[in-house]
Amino acid sequence: MRVGNKALIKELNRSHVVSTIRTHQPISRTEISKALNLGLSTVTYITEDLLSAGLVFEKGTANSTGGRKATLLSFNEDYGYAFGVKIEESQVIVASTNLNAHILCKHTLPFKRTTPPETLLHTIVHLIHRIIQETKIPASKMIGIGIAASGLINNKQGKVIRSTLLGWEQVEVRKKMWEAFNVPIFIDNNVNAYTKAEHKFGYGKELDDFLCISIGAGVGASLFLNGNVYAGHHGGAGEVGHMVIKQGGYRCHCGQKGCLEMHASERFLESEGRQIKHLYPESSLREANLGFKQVTSAARSGDPLAKHLLRKLGENLGIGVLNCINVFNPSAVIFIGEGLVAEDFFMTYTLDVASDNFFSKAGCEVTFQVSKLGDDAWVQGAALQAIDHWFEHPINEESRLLLS
């Protein structure tokens, strides 16, 4: 580290103070000083600066055992705002949020599956402009836009490399959006975005390392490591859906056979249901309707085929989860996704299999949780890409260059 770069050190200290207030608010200057091992006079100097900028404000006093009560500082979550966008298979959700990723305004617009990417990005630009007009927030306060979509996404380059669900190949999302708004643009896989929300609002709040596993139309995962989502070299870390769990199993759209995705997602309900339906002539399930919703509803009515399919799915998912635990040794596994609608019928089997992992035999247990965040977590997580970046500045960019 270069010494003597006063401007940089000042910026770094300022950034640390802001982050501490953001995470631990309301907090006194003395507590900030202790938490960061910074002199009280330095903290006071920085907080005066932050107060006059309007980024923090004084609110209440701390209980004290004697002497003057300490004034507490809180972070002004309305100082700026971000946008979170989730591109789904046939609809796009756009929301503005404050700096705590709380949603201020949200719009959903359906689109045809054949819509070209350029047209859809144009629609997103239009929706963002509409929200800016409706909420009358000055455009100058927009700190960035975060987008979440399915598929292989290179978040460093800001592009979708391939999304089978959307039929996209090599789409330069950041470039298009930057041209329209001139603010930092981020794009990531939707499971990674949700994982960010889980870290901020959910079970992942106190954890440095955990794994989110999504169950729905496919199976996906995201690894939260050392305070951030691990992206992998091409941005594709977490493609556990294509981990082979059954030799000679169902053929996957990726070209392999026996992928976890083919044995523990909606695709399994369809393939296996079609295969064994003749053994359950009394079943109410029809071939065309073997999605999570239909199968869960049938299971609730006691349909034996539905119950059998969900039990098998649960066991298969358990094998995938067990393998993930053995590879990553996370402190917790958090389940997310629309497949959780059938949780009552498969989770016991999943946990039975997954709990019998390498680490449990040494007494090192993994915690299992089912996410309690609602659907808004997807766009909130998308917005958090921009918000987290804004708070990391300047540590992320200039300082890395200067410190190297």
Residues that bind Zn ion (CB under 5 A): 242, 252, 254, 256, 259
CB distance 373 to 198 below 8 Å: yes
Least distance to Zn ion, CB of residue 350, Å: 19
Least distance to Zn ion, CB of residue 287, Å: 23
Least distance to Zn ion, CB of residue 195, Å: 21
Q: In whole angstroms, how large is the CA radius of gyration of the chain? A: 24
**In the 8-state DSSP scheme, what is residue 354?**
H
Least distance to Zn ion, CB of residue 260, Å: 8
Q: Which is nearer to Zn ion, 262 or 379 (CB)?
A: 262
Q: Which is nearer to Zn ion, 240 or 259 (CB)?
A: 259
In DSSP notation, 184-203 reads: -EEEEEHHHHHHHHHHHHSG
The amino acid at 166:
L
Least distance to Zn ion, CB of residue 258, Å: 8
Q: Which is nearer to Zn ion, 147 or 264 (CB)?
A: 264
Least distance to Zn ion, CB of residue 247, Å: 14
In DSSP notation, 278-324 reads: GG-TT----TT--SHHHHHHHHHTT-HHHHHHHHHHHHHHHHHHHHH
Least distance to Zn ion, CB of residue 254, Å: 3
Q: Which is nearer to Zn ion, 144 or 216 (CB)?
A: 216
Q: Which is nearer to Zn ion, 258 or 291 (CB)?
A: 258
Beta-bridged to residue 96, according to DSSP, are: 83, 105
Cis, bond preceding 138 (omega within 30 deg of 0) = no
Q: Which is nearer to Zn ion, 263 or 312 (CB)?
A: 263
Q: In 10 A of CB 288, how many CB atoms?
A: 8
CA angle, 334 as apex, 333 and 340 as ends, to 5°?
130
Q: Which is nearer to Zn ion, 253 or 286 (CB)?
A: 253
Report the candidate in 145, 142, 194 with the shortest Cα–Cα distance to residue 174.
145
Beta-bridged to residue 367, according to DSSP, are: 332
